[in-house]
Chains A and B, each alone.
Chain A
Amino acid sequence: QSALTQPASVSGSPGQSITISCTGTSSDVGSYNLVSWYQQHPGKAPKLMIYEVSKRPSGVSNRFSGSKSGNTASLTISGLQAEDEADYYCCSYAGSSTPYVFGTGTKVTVL
């Protein structure tokens, strides 16, 4: 199972919106509405930001939203803030024997 493809980096100015793409295949992203997104600050553990494509856990800002079309999922961060600067990873279910396939990761920089 290959890693999902994400852009290496995305940047934006405070207040802007950015979108991170996550491209998989018909065996993972395209087959299940089970895409999740994780935020990781340097030296810290990942944190769940989005699950089941577009749902937000309690406590996660509504500036974070997710969507999916075909084999590509997306995470949008609106009203970009300095604290959003971090690495972001998508993850998809890919069947019972491979429950998690992660993306390659995207570094978000707030200019």
Chain B
Amino acid sequence: EVQLVESGGGLVKPGGSLRLSCAASGFTFSSYSMNWVRQAPGKGLEWVSSISSSSSYIYYADSVKGRFTISRDNAKNSLYLQMNSLRAEDTAVYYCARGSLELQSWGQGTLVTVSS
């Protein structure tokens, strides 16, 4: 069974940093592209970033470009999102999701709150 478990969320002040992790199991992690998608409270889904299976291709939404960095460690079956210069508008539940053309499997999400 595919499992994706996010962690690392919490309360952070504007301008602060946070690193999210996503632990994957139940599939060959190194064979799949991975993604981060977020959802602000009461709002819709927003794609944040994608990374190919070997980290050769990395993409970011304009809203996070230059502030967020996606990475993965295939030996540890883990996906990461380093978030710097956080803003109030980054407050959201952050989901990791597996897939390259469609998002086949999702984690349960981790809440990031940016507030003073």
Contact = CB atoms under 8 A, between A and B. Distances in A.
In terms of DSSP, what is the predominant structure of the interface of chain A?
Answer: loop
Interface stretch (B23-31, B70-78, B95-103): B95-103
B95 A100 contact: no
A47 B106 contact: yes
A101 interface: yes
B92 to A, nearest CB: 13
Nearest to A46: B106
A76 to B, nearest CB: 18
Contacts of A93: 101
B104 interface: yes
A51 B101 CA distance: 8
Nearest to B96: A45
B45 A89 contact: yes
Interface string B56-70: 010101100000000
Contacts of B47: 98-102
B53 to A, nearest CB: 14
A102 B106 contact: no
B103 A46 contact: yes
Given A45-B108, A96-B59, A97-B59, A36 B103 contact: yes
20 contacts: A34-B101, A34-B102, A38-B103, A40-B45, A45-B95, A45-B107, A45-B108, A46-B37, A48-B104, A52-B101, A89-B45, A93-B101, A97-B59, A98-B59, A99-B50, A99-B101, A100-B103, A102-B45, A102-B47, A105-B44
Nearest to A100: B47
